[in-house]
Amino acid sequence: MNRHIEAFLEMLAAERGAARNTLLAYAADLGDFSAFAAARADTDEAETLRAYMAHLSTLGLAARSAARKLSALRQFHRFLLREGIRADDPTALLDSPRLPRSLPKYLSEAEVDALLAATDLRPPAQAVLMRAALEILYATGLRVSELLTLPRTALAGEGEMLMVRGKGGRERMVPLSAAARSAAVALVGARRTGRFLFAGRGEQALTRQGFALMLKQVALEAGIDPARVSPHVLRHSFASHMLARGADLRSLQLLLGHADIATTQIYTHVLAERLQRLVEAHHPLAVAPAKPE
């Protein structure tokens, strides 16, 4: 099985442009199943798969983690089927773990303003970098990987739009606010060398870990619990605030780079809240009757 796993990972890298962390996660999940299956060599694979999912449950693995492992197994077996290595897909009849409904965590508009203001309290070099990073994240909803790999040339020309390379190598254009552009221009002026807009050591891009640490420090300066602040929380904040102010789901899907609008629909809680406020404000039966004098 291991040679087929290697071929599958090579396909993900070559055809889908999978990131290194994605490949490592697939390798770990498929390697875990391979070790489990090796002890059941005489068992039908469909039965082995059912036993493996039951095994994950007995280990107390969270439903979301089990669902991720099942997704890796399904994609792997579809690859085997497509390549003619197998004549069937034994994962087709497996039930997905029931996932709890979870709403995206996001900051209030006032908290985002506090974060932006708190960047000025950091040392000068870090202040200009974090100001640019937060302005761009909140203006565009970029993933942190997309932000940190922006080249310096991303601001070429008028700079009203950013060309972003997202998951699977897919490119999209996102508008850049005047405040975000101004902060990015200041960052370029502060550091005139390097390939990346957000440069780390030498010619390398700033690492996710390095950025996360600086973001936690800014959160502390802003008086916000650092556990509540992350690049993905800022992405959720962008999406939630856009919907609350009237954006539609299809436009938001394009801005976020979601391949499927079903992914964008996790933000419908914001639409529900907005509709509830509209009903309470405008429906005749929702208006409290005036008290008689």
b/e 218-229 (16+ beta carbons within 10 angstroms → b): bbebbebeeeeb
CA atoms of 95 and 274, how far apart (whole Å): 35
Active site residue 232: yes
What is the residue type of 223?
G
Count of residues in the chain: 293
**1, 34 contact by CB (below 8 A):** yes
Active site residue 283: no
CA atoms of 31 and 124, how far apart (whole Å): 46
**Beta-bridge partners for 162:** 174
Q: Which two tokens stand for residue 231?
A: 């690049």
Active site residue 235: yes
Q: Which of 165, 232, 269, 274 is catalytic?
A: 232
Active site residue 77: no
CA atoms of 229 and 184, how far apart (whole Å): 21
* Residue for token pair 């095994």: 55
**Beta-bridge partners for 161:** 175
b/e 6-33 (16+ beta carbons within 10 angstroms → b): eebbeebeeeeebeeebeeebbebbebb
CA atoms of 254 and 193, how far apart (whole Å): 32
Q: Which of 4, 55, 165, 167 is catalytic?
A: 167
Q: Which of 77, 235, 236, 241 is catalytic?
A: 235
Q: Which two tokens stand for residue 156?
A: 């070429």
Active site residue 241: no
CA atoms of 241 and 121, how far apart (whole Å): 26
**198, 147 contact by CB (below 8 A):** yes
Q: Which of 77, 131, 143, 241 is catalytic?
A: 143
Active site residue 131: no
Q: Which two tokens stand for residue 275?
A: 């509709």
Q: Which of 26, 52, 106, 267 is catalytic?
A: 267
Q: Which of 77, 131, 181, 258 is catalytic?
A: 258
Residues classed as catalytic: 143, 167, 232, 235, 258, 267
